[in-house]
Amino acid sequence: MCGRFSAISETDVLKKRFKVKLIQKKNVKNLRKKYNIAPGDWARMINSNRELEVAKWGLLPDSSYSTFNAKAETLEEKQSFAPLFKNGQRCLIPSDGFYEFPVGEFGKRSMRLALENDKTFSYAGLYRESVDSVTGQVGTTFTIITCEPNEIVHPTSGLKIHDRMPVILHEGDEDAWLDSDTSIKNLKGLLKPYRGSDMLSYEVSSFINKTKNEGETCWLGVDQVDRFDWL
């Protein structure tokens, strides 16, 4: 599962890193970096045409439910995901880390997971144009694909953070993920856990627990935050 993530690189940095051809002008007020992105929030996304746009997290069928995660193992079986996966509605979701909230020996903890050196990376996602059943507005929505966890997310001993993790694509695999000519077999081969040896995890404060909270405090280690500063 992936239910919260951050994406704090400036848009100009994302444009270069992901070889963006065009930045769409719709919904530009949400074209900004964020430390605390939750389902239902707006986030920056690179579509199959290498266009950077703002989309809502949670794949929204025209008259059904919102789905913010999609299991890699069942993409071809689920009607909500199969057409998008097979027909080139694949996207990149830029990020620099995600959060999980495991329950350990001393209660609920807030953990941040990222690549070494806090490098910008992308999640494998699916997207579509959707009609909001409440407002009637048409916009882009997306889902993040998840897979089995690696040894950082679900170690053999110690705190088990989660039994799923988002699919983090290697930079060299991003072109293949977006390419409409990539075979289904090769696409499925990309949907695997990222190397745990190239990742880090650490505990952050419960400031991140509230979806309305924003800013660098979301990232800080639990020992770096004075809780009385923000309560």
Residues in the chain: 231
Give the active site residue among 51, 73, 77, 100: 100
Report the percent of the chain where pLDDT is more than 90.
74
**Known catalytic membership, residue 100:** yes
Give the active site residue among 2, 91, 147, 218: 2
Residue 105: predicted pLDDT: 72
DSSP string, 163-229: S-EE-EEPGGGHHHHH-TTS-HHHHHHH-SPPPGGGEEEEEE-GGGGSTT--SGGGTSBGGG--GGG
Give the domain ranges of the chain.
5-229
Pairing label, strands 199-204, 110-115: antiparallel
41-59: pLDDT as tens digits: 999 999 999 999 999 999 8
Which residue type sits at 177?
A: W
116-127: pLDDT as tens digits: 988 999 999 999
Residue 65 has pLDDT above 70, yes or no: no
Mean pLDDT of 192-205: 94
Residue 150: predicted pLDDT: 94
Q: Of all residues in the chain, what percent are helix, strand and coil, respectively (each to 5)?
A: 25, 35, 45
Q: What is the DSSP letter of 59?
A: B
Q: What is the DSSP letter of 31?
A: -
> Domain 5-229 belongs to what architecture?
Alpha-Beta Complex (3.90)
- pTM reported for the whole predicted model: 0.93
Q: How confident is the model at residue 66 (pLDDT cuts 50, 70, 90)?
A: low
157-172: pLDDT as tens digits: 677 899 999 999 999 9
Burial bucket for residue 85 (CB in 10 Å: 0-12, 13-18, 19+): buried
Give the up-direction half-sphere exposure of residue 46: CA atoms within 13 A in the CB hemisphere.
25
